[in-house]
């Protein structure tokens, strides 16, 4: 039986969300990322933050992989001494979000107005408006952020920062 909740028919190179509870101490992030590096495995995004337990942190790692490779990585992660728990989350039963800050060129009132309208449609927040730029905060799924970025990139994206995915299972699952 596979450790993931995804169907066996998942195409090669599928997108996966791995959630790991780790001890909150120095060097853990390095050991986890080094495991991926040593196996020549790319991390699409990684977020790390505190949890409801002061001594633990949650790592959320997104990656494109085939299921066999993912199973091997999860097994290797579980062997690391500072890793308490590892789960591959079923994206259909998971709440996941990412935050992006996008600074765009906006040298005239028309451009500013258009960007503000797009931001409103995407439920974004205008964080800063300067004489020649506007900064928008977008929160949502990676697909939503990609869609907004594609819509506004013709204005000229001056800077972009994305947090990576944070995720939790839906419902009562712990």
Domains and CATH numbers, the chain: 14-89 (3.30.70.260), 95-169 (3.30.70.1150)
Q: What is the pLDDT of residues 54-93, one digit of tens each?
A: 999 999 999 988 888 899 899 999 999 999 999 999 989 9
Residues 6+ apart with CB under 8 A from 103: 128, 133, 134, 135, 157, 158, 159, 160
Q: How many CB atoms lie within 10 A of CB 18?
A: 23
102-118: average pLDDT: 96
144: confidence class by pLDDT, cuts 50, 70, 90: very high
Q: What is the percent of the chain where pLDDT is above 90? A: 77
Q: For 103-124, give one letter per residue: b (16+ CB within 10 A) or e.
A: bbebeeeebbeebbebbeebeb
4: confidence class by pLDDT, cuts 50, 70, 90: very low
pLDDT at 12 over 80: no
**Residue 66 has what pLDDT?**
86
Q: For 133-152, give one letter per residue: b (16+ CB within 10 A) or e.
A: bbbbebebebebbeebbeeb
Q: Picking from 23-27, 38-42, 108-112, which range would have the lowest pLDDT averaged per residue?
A: 38-42
Structure tokens at 93: 């039963």
Task: Give pTM, 2 decimals.
Answer: 0.81
pLDDT at 7 over 50: no
Residues 6+ apart with CB under 8 A from 4: 10, 16, 67, 70, 71, 88, 90
**Residue 108 has what pLDDT?**
93
């Amino acid at each position: 039986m596979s450790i993931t909740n995804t169907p066996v028919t998942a195409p090669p190179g599928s997108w996966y969300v791995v959630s790991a509870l780790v001890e909150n101490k120095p060097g853990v992030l390095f050991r986890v990322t080094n495991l991926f590096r040593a196996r020549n495995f790319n991390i699409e995004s990684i977020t790390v933050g505190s949890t409801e337990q002061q001594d633990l942190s949650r790592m959320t790692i997104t990656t494109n992989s085939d299921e066999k490779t993912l199973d091997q990585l999860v097994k290797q992660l579980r062997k690391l001494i500072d890793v308490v728990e590892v789960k591959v989350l079923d994206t259909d039963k998971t709440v996941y979000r990412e935050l992006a800050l996008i600074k765009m060129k906006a040298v005239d009132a028309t451009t500013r107005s258009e960007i503000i309208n797009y931001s409103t449609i995407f439920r974004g927040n205008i964080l800063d408006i300067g004489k020649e730029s506007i900064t928008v905060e977008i929160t949502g799924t990676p697909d939503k952020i990609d869609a907004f970025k594609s819509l506004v990139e013709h204005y000229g994206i001056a800077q972009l920062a994305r947090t990576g995915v944070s995720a939790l299972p839906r419902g009562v699952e712990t």
